[in-house]
Structure 1
Amino acid sequence: MMRDIVTERAQLFLGSRLKRLAEKMQADVVKISERIGLAVQPGQYALLATLDLDGPQTIGELTEALQLSQPAITRTVAKLSEMGLVEVARRGRDQRHKTVALTAEGEAAMARAKSLLWPQIEGAVGDMLGDLAGPFLANLGHIEERMSERPLHRRAVEAAQQGLVIHDYSDALAPHFRTINGQWIEAMYRLEQTDIDVLDHPRERIIDGGGTILFVEAPGLGIVGACALQKTGPDQYELTKMGVLESARGLKAGEFLLKAMIAKAGEMGARRLYLLSNRKSEAAIHLYEKLGFAHDAGIMAEFGARYARCDVAMLYRG
């Protein structure tokens, strides 16, 4: 094993050690950020947060507030301006100072970050630092060890997995059913009239007909998945319209939701539980197989014509 000179000469290379730790932490934040669809880099959030909290600022004011060099602030502002998150303009009578302000897109990005990203990061860092006490350099070593054992992005995922919650259908949650399923269907296929009919009228097409819809919620992310159980005959149900948002990737929210729906089908007296899919949905088919569904030619012959895209039919065998 190679020696770590930065750790051995802790006082001499303290700045390098802190920089190394910061880079590891920021790399983890990028992974969490990508999972929820935010393109902002960790080092850019402090500037955005200052504008969000205190309103438009000059470059000089941002330099003072963030205690960073003016060239560093200028580079960050230029990058955020290219991304469309801030605008730089001269405001008021003083034409000597350019003022930086959030754009509407920047405000939306900050709202998303504060509701979806920041709670996950704070929770993961709190989990890592929770019981630390004592000399700073000793604690720095503990932090580095814990970062190696369980990086921040893994801590955030594990915390979200532990907090997954299933919700029964309510009209207030119906828009999530439409949005979640509409996104994945349009991304992979095209919305057929059968899809539109069910997604636009979930109560009439699913609930009132004796079926049910379940939703899965993840901490800090809100509702991230939905799945329906449509009654198609006596003691017979089709598992349909199951989707999970990209922001929940890695949380196993789909598996959590599918297990809950299979259990729900049992509670409702389902003797025949089947689903229709397409070979392009490889990850979903693998999950179905893992939890007890098997490919079935009889189901395909009986129900496959319902969707033009259907080339996979499965029956639950437990």
Structure 2
Amino acid sequence: MELFEKTGKMALGSRLRLLTAKVTEDAARIYELYNVEFSPKWFPAFFVLSEEGEKTITEIANEIGHSQPSVSKIIQEMTAAGLVQENKESSDKRRNVVGLTSKGIEISEQIKVQCLDVDVAIDQIISEARHNLWEALAEWEFLLEQKSLFRRVQEQKKLRESKDVQIVPYEEKYQSAFRALNEEWISTYFKMEAADYKALDNPKEYILDKGGKIFVALYNDEPVGVCSLIKMNDPEYDYELAKMAVSPKIQGKSIGWLLGQAVVNAARDLGASSIYLESNTSLKPAINLYQKLGFKKVVGRSTPYERCNIQMELLLNSAGI
């Protein structure tokens, strides 16, 4: 169809709905051809009842992948048509069990004959086509179950937008942004502490002059994220990853990941063998990011921060980053 040549894959859903409408229209005509008073949309629920016997609406919904309200409506329609009925003699009164009526069983036998002809007709289409749609549908269903179309588009959006992000070294002109971004982030979840003000008010003295690094993420030339690598006076760890903050207005563009990579690469370039960090387990996205960067949990260290309840380390000589 010319429209879909113009729209491309963006109209996948519309094209599938059009194909579904064509097949459903033919299905209704096929039932008429075999003198069966039946609606195509009833078929999945009807098939389950005809093959497996009495079921609850919940069981049917789970088996055919429809919502319970949708199945309830279909059962009501088939009940009105005399094909199914509620089994009031069920031993479990808590379960609303439905099953086929004698008319439903008769229709089921008629449909079995019809299905033989339908199967042959569909096999003919498959033999004439270059691609096996039935097998392709099963493959697509599996792949979308593993990762939805929404998730895939979301990842592409993040990837595209992350290309517009620049990670640059700290300059004095970014001092206010360094403080504001961290203060906004910390105040959102916790409270500012004395140790925070030391680094945020005097980043040059507290971080840079002691051999550390600060990186700034720019999006459309605006500072939207920061992260620092602080030199530690510690026999076990060389540097600490700290003061990472990303503006909530611009999250979802992999900025945290890009800043984290910049800090890890800088530590490696400085000859570091280990990086340490402190965080809080309530910050699940942050913990996931650190784990993605290769950090692992450690215990038994003191901390100046009340909000810290997890400590992590990255051993650079064993990290695959």
TM-score between both structures, scaled by the size of structure 1: 0.49
Q: Which has the higher contact order (CA 8 A, sep 6+)?
A: 1
